[in-house]
Amino acid sequence: MNETDLHVIYGSDNISRMAYRLMEAMDIAAELRPDTRIALKPNFVVPKPADSGATTHPEVAEGILQYLTERGFRDITIMESSWAGADTKTSFRVCGYEALAKRYGVSLYDLKDDAFVERQAGGLTLKVCRKPLLETDYLINLPVLKAHCQTNLTCALKNLKGCLPDSEKRHFHALGLMKPIACLSRILRPALTIADAICGDLTFEEGGHPVAMDRLIGGRDPVLLDSYGAELLGFSAGDIGYLPLAEKLGVGSTDLTNATIFEHQPEEKRQSIFRPSGVARSLASHVTADAACSVCYGSLIHALQRLRDNGTRIPQGICIGQGFRGKTGDGIGIGSCTAGFATHLKGCPPNARAMADFLARQPAK
């Protein structure tokens, strides 16, 4: 797999199968030796199940474990440290990883129990847990793609914060988050990232407002993957302070024009119809939806949230969904299904950034 490749697989019914297929498509086994020490780093920011929008679905790790163990790789650890004040061992249980680790005979490691070492990057000296840095050959980062109230985005780079001792996590906030997150990614660059974008949170990293997005995203360059994820949530890479900084440090590229995007199971895009709930319901009051796919409507919800965050007027008459295929209309169409509308945005689905830019340009009626 090239540094500039990103693999996206759509669906939500069989997440472990999706993760397995992604590993196959990227041919990860070809990069490993039988004795490679492999670590999986999910996101258990708080002990909440994945459907809250906060944590990595255990099925993502399961698909990866199945792929690896079938091919004889045995030295596998699942490691994480929940945020300062939360208990990682409780997260292992609540998030379904205790049972998963037993089933596959792999170990769980609470990084709060780990020693740390100091490393320098970008002019900062950071304390980083020992095991992911010195006792891991191949780090598989399993973040959740979600919005974040301070950094706009949390995905590949920010998930590495779980590899810090709690004192350093607090120190990161004192340093303003952006620069230390970029520097950490220079010190601890994962070999592979598979982002869980099944139902990440609309506004907060601790969940509570999940929005169905129905896909997993795999790639080697964590900066490129985050830049792609940012656009899915209605941001540009430049809106995420740590991404240009990480690019300057040589961690990866924010240039999506250079990326090769491989889409898998595109037929699954149309299988799941979006049903807004919670905060999404109030945003959905601006929308007329008819059989809208989750991958499309989920992005629209993020785009509307971005307009709301920026104080931009949300236009009237937004239409989305397969039910508009072959129809004309004087509303504002989102996605290729509304191609018959005089005003519509192409794409199946368009990303949230394109939607937010398009909607912001629409004149008041």
Q: Tell me if 121 sits within 8 A of 157, measured CB to CB.
A: no
Could you list the beta-strand ranges (E) of 34-145: 38-42, 76-80, 107-110, 116-121, 124-129, 138-142
Q: Please give the Cα distance from 5 to 216 (Å, whole number).
A: 14
**Residue in this structure with the two tokens 């490749």, named with its chain if needed:** 5
CB of 300 to ligand SF4, least distance (A): 9
Shortest Å distance, C-beta 320 to ligand SF4: 6
Classify burial at 308, counting beta carbons within 10 Å of its beta carbon; exposed 0-12, middle 13-18, buried 19 or more: middle
Q: Which is nearer to ligand SF4, 36 or 322 (CB)?
A: 322
Tracing tokens 């990161």 back to the chain, one arrives at 172
281, with CB counted inside 10 A (0-12, 13-18, 19+), is exposed
Least Å distance, CB 111 to ligand SF4, is 38
DSSP string, 33-49: -TT--EEEEE--SSS--
- Which residue's beta carbon is nearest to the bound ligand SF4? 335
Q: Which is nearer to ligand SF4, 84 or 348 (CB)?
A: 348
- Helix (H) / strand (E) element for 101: namely helix 97-104
Q: How far is the CB of 10 from ligand SF4 (least distance, A)?
A: 9
CB nearer ligand SF4, residue 227 or residue 351? 351
| Shorter beta-carbon distance to ligand SF4: residue 236 or 336 | 336
Nearer Cβ to ligand SF4 (183/213):
213
Token pair 């472990």: residue: 16
For the chain, give the number of residues: 365
CB atoms within 10 A of CB 102: 10
Instruction: Provide the minimum distance between the beta carbon of 296 and ligand SF4 in the complex, in angstroms, as a whole number.
Output: 3
- How do 5-10 and 215-219 pair as beta strands? antiparallel
CB of 75 to ligand SF4, least distance (A): 41
Closest distance of CB 138 from ligand SF4, Å: 34
Closest separation between CB of residue 339 and ligand SF4, Å? 9
For ligand SF4, which is the closer residue by CB, 140 or 295?
Answer: 295
Indicate the residue among 93 and 270 with the shorter CB distance to ligand SF4. Answer: 270
Residue 96 is classified by DSSP as T
Nearer to ligand SF4, 157 or 232 (CB): 232
Interatomic CA distance for residues 197 and 211, integer angstroms: 9
Q: Torsion angle of alpha carbons 178, 124, 114, 151, nearest 10°?
A: 0
In the complex, the residues that contact ligand SF4 under the rule CB under 6 A are: 269-270, 292-293, 295-296, 321-322, 335-337, 348-349
* Least distance CB 154 / ligand SF4 (angstroms): 25
Give the number of other CB atoms < 10 A from CB of residue 318.
Answer: 22
Which C-beta is closer to ligand SF4: that of 90 or that of 322? Answer: 322
CA-to-CA distance for 347 and 58, rounded, in angstroms?
A: 31
